[in-house]
C-alpha cells in the first residue's frame, strides 16, 4: 500500500541548513519534513518523505509514487537528468516541482535549465522551504480534479 502523498528530495539536500544559508536558509530537512507531516496529518493523509543522494534511488522512489495522490519533488542536481524526467513522465500522480532558491535568479544561468519541470503540473521556486507547504496545499486542494 503506497502512501497518499510523496515528498522526494534529491542529492545533497540532506545538507540543508548546514551550508550556503544566504541561498538556502537555515532550516534543516528535518524541519521541512516536520512541516510537511503537520500539513498532511491535518488533512488525514499519509505522507512518505525521502531524501537520497542517488539518482537510481530517486527514480525508484518516483516509480513507487507514480499512482499516488501527488508528488512534491525537489530534484536538486537531478533536475537535469533525462532518466529522472522519464520516470516523472510515467507518473499519473500530479507533480509539483519545488526549488528552495529562485533558479532563474541564480548566478549560474544553467540552474534554470531544468529538464524535470516538463513533467510537472507546476513549479515553485524561490519561496524558501515554504515552497514545500505551498506545493502540498495545491495537491490537497486539487485532489481528484485531475
Find the shortest distance in angstroms from Cβ 143 to ligand CA2.
25
99 binds ligand CA2 (CB under 6 A): yes
In this structure, the number of other CB atoms found within 10 A of the CB of residue 48 comes to 17
Known active-site residue 132: no
Map the footprint of ligand CA2 across residues 48-87, applying CB under 6 A.
74, 76-77
Active-site residue, from 6, 50, 99, 104:
99
19 binds ligand CA2 (CB under 6 A): yes
Find the shortest distance in angstroms from Cβ 146 to ligand CA2.
25
Instruction: Give me 113's grid cell.
Output: 535549465
Rounded Cα distance between 81 and 75, Å, is 9
Exposure class string for 19-35: b at 16+ Cβ within 10 A, else e = eeeeebbebbbeebbeb
128 binds ligand CA2 (CB under 6 A): no
Known active-site residue 50: no
116 binds ligand CA2 (CB under 6 A): no
Widest Cα–Cα separation across the chain: 43
3-state secondary structure of 15: helix
Find the shortest distance in angstroms from Cβ 52 to ligand CA2.
12
Active site residues per annotation: 24, 99
Amino acid at each position: 500500500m503506497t502512501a497518499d502523498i510523496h515528498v522526494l528530495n534529491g542529492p545533497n539536500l540532506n545538507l540543508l541548513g548546514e551550508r550556503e544559508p544566504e541561498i538556502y536558509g537555515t532550516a534543516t530537512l528535518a524541519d521541512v519534513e516536520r512541516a510537511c507531516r503537520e500539513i498532511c496529518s491535518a488533512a488525514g493523509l499519509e505522507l512518505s518523505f525521502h531524501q537520497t543522494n542517488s539518482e537510481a534511488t530517486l527514480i525508484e522512489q518516483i516509480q513507487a509514487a507514480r499512482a499516488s495522490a501527488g508528488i512534491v519533488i525537489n530534484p536538486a542536481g537531478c533536475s537535469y537528468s533525462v532518466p529522472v524526467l522519464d520516470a516523472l513522465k510515467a507518473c499519473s500522480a500530479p507533480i509539483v516541482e519545488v526549488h528552495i532558491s529562485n533558479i532563474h535568479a541564480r548566478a549560474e544561468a544553467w540552474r534554470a535549465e531544468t529538464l524535470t519541470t516538463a513533467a510537472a503540473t507546476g513549479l515553485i521556486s524561490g519561496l524558501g522551504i515554504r515552497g514545500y507547504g505551498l506545493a502540498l496545499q495545491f495537491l490537497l486542494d486539487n485532489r481528484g480534479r485531475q
